[in-house]
Amino acid sequence: MNTPLYRQLAEHYLSAIQSGTLRPGERMPSVRRLMQQHEVSLSTALQLCRWLEAQGWLEARPRSGYFIRTPRRLTVLAPAAEPATVRQIDPAQYVGIHEKVSAIIAKGQRKVSVNLARATGAPELYPHQQLRQLATSLLRQHPTLLTKAISPGGNPELRAALAKRALDVGISTAASEVVITHGCIEALNLALRAVAHPGDVIAVESPTFYGLLQVLESLGLKALEIPTSPHTGISIEALELAMQTYPNIKAVVVVPHLQNPLGSIMPDSHKQRLLHLCEQHQIPLIEDDSYSALTNGDKIPTAIKHWDKTGNVIYCASLHKIIAPGLRIGWMLAGRWQARVSMFKYAQTRYNEELSQRMMASFLQSTHYERHMRRLRQHLQQQRDKMAEAVAAYFPPETRLSMPDGGVSLWVEMPPECSSQAVFDAALERDILISPGLLYSNSNRFDHFLRINCGAPYSDKLDDAMRTLGHIIANQQKRRAA
Amino acid sequence: MNTPLYRQLAEHYLSAIQSGTLRPGERMPSVRRLMQQHEVSLSTALQLCRWLEAQGWLEARPRSGYFIRTPRRLTVLAPAAEPATVRQIDPAQYVGIHEKVSAIIAKGQRKVSVNLARATGAPELYPHQQLRQLATSLLRQHPTLLTKAISPGGNPELRAALAKRALDVGISTAASEVVITHGCIEALNLALRAVAHPGDVIAVESPTFYGLLQVLESLGLKALEIPTSPHTGISIEALELAMQTYPNIKAVVVVPHLQNPLGSIMPDSHKQRLLHLCEQHQIPLIEDDSYSALTNGDKIPTAIKHWDKTGNVIYCASLHKIIAPGLRIGWMLAGRWQARVSMFKYAQTRYNEELSQRMMASFLQSTHYERHMRRLRQHLQQQRDKMAEAVAAYFPPETRLSMPDGGVSLWVEMPPECSSQAVFDAALERDILISPGLLYSNSNRFDHFLRINCGAPYSDKLDDAMRTLGHIIANQQKRRAA
């Protein structure tokens, strides 16, 4: 593909910034100036500025235009290390992960001053006003919406709206294929129950979302942790090796976009290799794609399901990370397992409540959706930048961090002496809740990592919390090194 | 226990009615008159009349007092037969029940003129106005309710309100023991997953709600059908025999009150025998109690869980049959399996949406609840009576029917020549949806039964539908007998 014009121009200005020709705090040429100088359209000039802004090189100041940003102090930190793909793969049954997680969650139940353990944005970043209005008007239009038995199969308008949204990630599907679930977590449960039986082995990314490990444990499945790059996602080589070694892998579960907790995005070529590898070994591929709409910029990455011609991919996603954390609307496209998944869904929890389904259908169909998503991505990007700057400023210099291209969190590698459990406990004493790395694997491999939420607008309070966290980590490092 | 005074007096009037001393259409002595004549309090006199009304002997006419009702033509029908408890018990794995059910449900998906297949009341019988107001005011009070991440563990007020409601059925529990689920169906799933593994045998009532058979099939469990009386519920003798014969029964599931589809209510002595039998064999007892609040009159039957001292009973219930069919709020008390069930719930679907939980909490705490329940029970009783009269009037004389003491349906035994599948198909052609008996067992034992919904106010349209249904059944009977 040809590089679009705006990107060519953007690269030109980028090198001007990097070489110091344009210096931090200086004003970027105005949009009008750019149009004249390069003889380009308004849209191209705007795209140019927005792209540089999205990459963190410009900042927009109200009524003054774009300015070159102060270089992020983040650059002082080393990026995340690649995993050793040759290391021994350990097929561990996750008996116990739930207890580990429960203990952490139970401790974190008490009201804290700053909660950095969440995996969603702050409530104010979501369209609460529009949703409230939608709820009120739906209840006015349908007086017995709350007291009428839910019609079977899921709300047709929501299924149609989701089928349309699937086009954003390159999936062409019919509304009738969409199964609505209670969150993405129910979709994962149904997908795993459809393809595996207790005792079977499931290949997962390492580190991975502890919620998935709990699902596996609760279904009596064994997790096989596959090394995963913080930049390009699951290691295809390591997975291939695992498939050759373990004959009883019954599914592979990946989060190809903004992996939780790594934030990695798989290159399209990797996705296709993964798809073919799974097809070749006749192993179902479960794609958890709850975060892709939170990727920086306006281009949402393409789902693996896009290339799936045999129905071997079960696509799972949800709306609570992107529209309404207070609603539990997930959805899935189950490929070859459509009938089985629909049966399990019916037998497990029946259908989702009508009001929530209709709210989401109306919102997705409205012009609010795109506008909200654009704003949410921008907010999250600013917040991630601020949080990353705080990590760079307050955490020990041995800290490692790669900036994800979107999402609601940072995956921070502390100096190797640190224990996330100890940091968790110490932070909780200071009324700060974090998500310790030890939750993200059954091994202790990630015990010196933290997942830090970037969902809330940066504030003095957050800044204080990050400074406190930095002190805690530095103290630990010293004490343990001593 | 002594018979309360109002009951003694009621029995007195009852024999006057039955002997013809008080005749249909005549006025019952006024409340004031009753007070004077028997020297009783207003409350006793009122209780007397209400009890006779609840039993179907009196009807209240606005501003005129109570009148003796026209005797139900229902009495022309034979009551339901008791099952043969000595028959061979068949341990059938329900592979296929879902397909049978799915096919029926799929056929019934199209819009019909009269839907008699539901297991809820008409939307208008539920407090839609109050719920709408609650929703609107909750959204006003908590502007980010829909966009805020759901706090873990279920809403504390709802859990407290349900713990309080549990007192109605004689259960004393703490709010912290209450697990909120997506409907009773999720509660049953969690209960079964907590106590059994694929391949295990579960003893169930026969006939039983097809939803339960589907749950068993989807979890790879085998159903063992135990003969169940239309009047007193599961046969304890048959169950005891089964426990001696099959060593791998891992749970017993019963609906002790207003069993679906039979409508039977277990006598307290049976409940206690069942409890002891299960304890003795160390088999968990799962009590599905979604209907008990729909029992005629103001005394709700006592749950089996009331007598449970060892935590061997898992109590499951829901609010959508009694308050809001459009919401999916179920709940459970998992006894010994509390921790395991909580873990499964978290891993399976996380927590229910906050808005629905808070709506239900507020409603249960309000004075609306008791008033609504009283009205709902009265409405349902009138509707059941009307429907039963229609069965007596329009169905062949060989039809058998026992009136249940509450609930939303009638379990009608057609002449033995009839097939519920054929009646289902013929009725659907006439735009009437019924629930065929063949769904309620994996055997064909109940193929000449229908479950008929009584949730909607009786109307000319309903009357026409019942007449049509009567014709269909009579035609079938003739054709098959020929």
- Domain tally for chain B? 3
Asked if A186 and A305 sit in the same domain, the reply is: yes
Asked if B119 and B244 sit in the same domain, the reply is: no
Tally A–B CB contacts below 8 A. Answer: 184
In this predicted structure, the answer to whether residue A475 has a pLDDT above a threshold of 90 is yes
- Shortest distance between the Cα of B224 and any Cα of chain A, in A, equals 19
In this prediction, residue A433 has a pLDDT band, given cuts at 50, 70 and 90, of: very high
Retrieve residue A435's tokens: 């998500």
- Count of other CB atoms within 10 angstroms of residue A425: 14
Mutation target for B interface from A146, A290, A328, A356: give the one with most B CBs within 10 A.
Answer: A146
Q: Name every residue whose Cβ is closer than 8 Å to that of residue A246 and which is 6 or more positions away in sequence.
A: A91, A201, A224
**Pair B223, B204: CB distance under 8 Å:** yes
Asked if B78 and B59 sit in the same domain, the reply is: no
- Count of other CB atoms within 10 angstroms of residue B268: 15
* pLDDT for the residue A94: 43
Buried residues in B148-170 as b, exposed as e (16+ CB within 10 A): bbbeebbbebbbbbbbebbebbe
pLDDT digits (tens, 9 = 90+) for A196-252: 999 999 999 999 999 999 999 999 999 999 999 999 999 999 999 999 988 889 999
**Pair B227, B85: CB distance under 8 Å:** yes
Higher per-residue confidence, A84 vs A30: A30
What distance in Å separates the CA atoms of residue A186 and residue A163, rounded to the nearest whole number?
Answer: 19
* pLDDT for the residue A474: 94
Rg (CA), chain A: 23
Asked if B221 and B354 sit in the same domain, the reply is: yes
What distance in Å separates the CA atoms of residue B269 and residue B277, rounded to the nearest whole number?
Answer: 12
Which domain covers residue A63, as residue numbers? 5-71
* pLDDT for the residue B93: 44
| Percent over 70 (pLDDT), chain A | 95
What is the amino acid identity at position A16?
Answer: A
Asked if A52 and A196 sit in the same domain, the reply is: no
Q: Name every residue whose Cβ is closer than 8 Å to that of residue B384 and which is 6 or more positions away in sequence.
A: B403, B404, B407, B410, B454
* pLDDT for the residue A108: 75
8-state DSSP, A221: P
Domain endpoint, select from A55, A71, A87: A71
What distance in Å separates the CA atoms of residue B215 and residue A349, rounded to the nearest whole number?
Answer: 10
In this prediction, residue A104 has a pLDDT band, given cuts at 50, 70 and 90, of: confident
Mean pLDDT of A268-292: 97
Where chain B has pLDDT below 50, the residues are 92-94
pLDDT digits (tens, 9 = 90+) for A368-378: 999 999 999 99
Asked if B340 and B380 sit in the same domain, the reply is: no
Asked if B207 and B147 sit in the same domain, the reply is: yes
Mutation target for A interface from B138, B348, B356, B362: give the one with most A CBs within 10 A.
Answer: B348
Asked if A286 and A323 sit in the same domain, the reply is: yes
**CATH code of the domain covering residue A9:** 1.10.10.10
DSSP per residue over B445-464, as a string?
TTTTEEEEE--SPP-HHHHH
Asked if B118 and B241 sit in the same domain, the reply is: no
Using CA atoms of B108, B111, B116, B117 in order, give the dihedral in degrees to the nearest 10. 30
Asked if B318 and B415 sit in the same domain, the reply is: no
**Pair B111, B462: CB distance under 8 Å:** no
Chain A's closest residue to B341, CA to CA, is: A218
* pLDDT for the residue A71: 55
Report the DSSP beta bridge partners of residue A441. none
Chain A's closest residue to B185, CA to CA, is: A349
For chain A, positions 312-331, list CB contacts with chain B under 8 A: 324-328
* pLDDT for the residue B96: 62
For chain A, positions 232-291, list CB contacts with chain B under 8 A: none
Query: Tokens 């109570």 map to which residue?
Result: B66
Mean pLDDT of A389-418: 93
When CB atoms are compared, the residue of B146, B326, B348 closest to A186 is B348
For chain B, positions 82-111, list CB contacts with chain A under 8 A: 98, 102, 105, 109
B355 touches chain A (CB under 8 A): yes
* pLDDT for the residue B90: 56
Retrieve residue A158's tokens: 């929501």
* pLDDT for the residue B76: 66
Retrieve residue A218's tokens: 């609760």
* pLDDT for the residue A145: 96
8-state DSSP, B104: H
Instruction: Determine, for residues B325 and A215 on separate chains, whether the beta-carbon distance falls below 8 Å.
Output: no
Chain B residues closer than 8 Å to A105 by CB: 152
* pLDDT for the residue A78: 81
Domain endpoint, select from A323, A340, A368: A368
Mean pLDDT of A35-50: 90
Retrieve residue B176's tokens: 């912290």
Chain B residues closer than 8 Å to A214 by CB: 343, 346-347
When CB atoms are compared, the residue of B128, B143, B349 closest to A186 is B349
For chain B, positions 113-152, list CB contacts with chain A under 8 A: 118, 120, 123-129, 131-132, 135-136, 139, 143-150, 152
Mutation target for A interface from B111, B329, B353: give the one with most A CBs within 10 A.
Answer: B353
**In degrees, to the nearest 5, what angle opens at C-alpha A477 toward C-alphas A473 and A482?**
150
When CB atoms are compared, the residue of B127, B146, B152 closest to A128 is B146
Report in angstroms the alpha-carbon separations of A15 from A2, A7, A18, A34, A74. Answer: 20, 12, 5, 16, 19
**Pair B256, B313: CB distance under 8 Å:** no
**CATH code of the domain covering residue B430:** 3.90.1150.10
What distance in Å separates the CA atoms of residue A419 and residue A436, rounded to the nearest whole number?
Answer: 9
What distance in Å separates the CA atoms of residue A209 and residue A439, rounded to the nearest whole number?
Answer: 8
**Pair B66, B59: CB distance under 8 Å:** yes
A350 touches chain B (CB under 8 A): yes
**Pair A214, A101: CB distance under 8 Å:** yes
Instruction: Determine, for residues B325 and A105 on separate chains, whether the beta-carbon distance falls below 8 Å.
Output: no
Asked if A303 and A206 sit in the same domain, the reply is: yes
pLDDT digits (tens, 9 = 90+) for B319-370: 999 999 999 999 999 999 999 999 999 999 999 999 999 999 999 999 999 9
Four-residue CA torsion sign, A101, A104, A110, A113: negative
Angle between helices B97-107 and B420-429 (to 10 degrees): 20
End-to-end CA distance of chain A: 55
Chain A's closest residue to B139, CA to CA, is: A132
In this prediction, residue A93 has a pLDDT band, given cuts at 50, 70 and 90, of: very low
Mutation target for A interface from B134, B144, B217: give the one with most A CBs within 10 A.
Answer: B144
* pLDDT for the residue A73: 55
Asked if A377 and A423 sit in the same domain, the reply is: yes
Retrieve residue B358's tokens: 């808070």
Instruction: Determine, for residues B353 and A198 on separate chains, whether the beta-carbon distance falls below 8 Å.
Output: no
E strand or H helix that includes residue B131: helix B128-141
**Pair B77, B400: CB distance under 8 Å:** yes
What distance in Å separates the CA atoms of residue A19 and residue A11, rounded to the nearest whole number?
Answer: 12
Retrieve residue B389's tokens: 């009269």
**CATH code of the domain covering residue B150:** 3.40.640.10
A348 touches chain B (CB under 8 A): yes
Q: Name every residue whose Cβ is closer than 8 Å to that of residue A460 and which is 6 or more positions away in sequence.
A: none
